[in-house]
Amino acid sequence: MANKGGIITGVITLVIGGTVFSLSKADIAKNFSKDTGMSQQQAEQYVENINKDDLVSYDKLGSDMSSDGQDILDLSSKLDCENYTYDWEIVSLSCKEGRSQLVKLGNDEISLGKAYIALASDSASENDMSLAINLIDKVNSDLDLEIIDQLLDRSAIDETKKTNSYNKALLQTALDSQ
């Protein structure tokens, strides 16, 4: 909830490895702003507008992320660079390079999915949190690959990166609270 001064208040509870973290929405917004380059006010508004119904467990998030990564790998394996020319191929992006970029994203999404699943376990540690943060950075970087820009709408890419950055901000805020 926002108070009259526009500063967000409230706490988000996060459980990782059997540890309960009570995270200030203001601290989450600060880390989100730092990661996305949004202004503090924009970050606070984004954090405030997250619907609780849109939040899922790390198990579910990890499973979905791993499945998406596998779908990307399956797609990349079906590309026939010898016999076809694809609409997304351009001078700076050959079929083979596009396939290579898809494999990178697919593998990184699977790794991040596994890291999220590890966060749901009772034995999750600070190292697991740090690994997930690093993998979020890799996936967000992968989303800037040329093939992704050719295949997806920029607004969808940006929203996916914001969702990833929000998850990173949660984890970073939990680490900072230690």
**DSSP assignments along 71-126, one per residue:** HHHHHHHH--TTT---TT-BTTB-HHHHHHHHHHHHHHHHHHHHHHHHHTSTT--H
* Euclidean distance between CA atoms 16 and 170, whole angstroms: 11
**Domain assignment present for 149:** yes
**Domain assignment present for 21:** no
Q: Indicate if the pLDDT at residue 2 is higher than 50.
A: no
Confidence class of residue 9 from pLDDT cuts 50, 70 and 90? low
**Domain assignment present for 44:** no
Q: Indicate if the pLDDT at residue 7 is higher than 90.
A: no
**Domain assignment present for 12:** no
Distances from the Cα of 31 to the Cα of 9, 101, 112, 142, angstroms:
15, 28, 19, 21
Domain that holds residue 62: 56-176
pLDDT tens column, 108-159 = 999 999 999 999 998 999 999 999 999 999 999 999 999 999 999 999 999 9
Query: 8 near 44, Cβ under 8 Å?
Result: yes
Q: Tokens standing for 129?
A: 């949190």
Q: What is the DSSP letter of 8?
A: B
Percent of the chain with pLDDT over 70: 95
Rounded mean pLDDT, 15-19? 86
The total of other beta-carbon atoms located within 10 Å of residue 97's CB is 15
Q: Indicate if the pLDDT at residue 1 is higher than 80.
A: no
**Domain assignment present for 2:** no
**Domain assignment present for 42:** no
pLDDT tens column, 75-98 = 999 999 999 999 999 999 999 999
Report helix, strand or coil for 14: strand
pLDDT tens column, 92-110 = 999 999 999 999 999 999 9
Please state whether the predicted TM-score (pTM) of the whole model is above 0.85: yes
Distances from the Cα of 106 to the Cα of 72, 85, 174, angstroms:
5, 22, 27
**Domain assignment present for 127:** yes
**Domain assignment present for 9:** no
* Euclidean distance between CA atoms 27 and 24, whole angstroms: 5
Side-chain half-sphere exposure of 65, counting CA atoms within 13 A: 29
Q: Indicate if the pLDDT at residue 8 is higher than 90.
A: no
Number of domains in the chain: 1
